[in-house]
Structure formats: C-alpha cells, structure tokens
Amino acid sequence: MYSLKVEKLTCSRCVTKINNALKSVDDSAEIVIDLALSQLQITTNASLEAVRASLLNMGYPTTVL
C-alpha cells in the first residue's frame, strides 16, 4: 500500500479523474481518497513510480507519506 499527498486535489471532480487514472494503471487497485487532507492510499500491483507518473501526467504532483 502506498500513501501519497496529492497537490491540486481540490474537488470531487479531481477525485473522479484520479480514480480513473489509477484504475487505468491497475484496474484491481483499491483506492481511498481523502479530499479534505489531499491524500490518497492505494493498494495496487503497480509500482509506486507508475502510480506517481500517472498522477503527474494528469497535473497532480505527489509526495510519498
């Protein structure tokens, strides 16, 4: 499981876009997003680098927690 702080995570539309992006990397990923804290937790078979790259490509830089 990876925990990330996600910059520019400000609305429910962002949550939907992030969920879709991460599911495209691993459709069996389990994703929990906390909009108030701008954080997410993901349990996935994908690498941390793939997860972070997917979010960065969408304009959401991340920091590993």
List pLDDT tens digits, range 28-58: 999 999 999 999 999 999 999 999 999 999 9
Q: Output the CA angle 42-44-45, nearest 5 degrees.
A: 160
Residue 4, both tokens = 């990330």
Residue 64's pLDDT is what? 98
Give CA separation, 23 vs 42, 45, 55, in Å: 10, 11, 11
Which architecture characterizes domain 2-64 according to CATH?
Answer: 2-Layer Sandwich (3.30)
What percent of the chain is predicted at pLDDT more than 70?
A: 100
* pTM score: 0.92
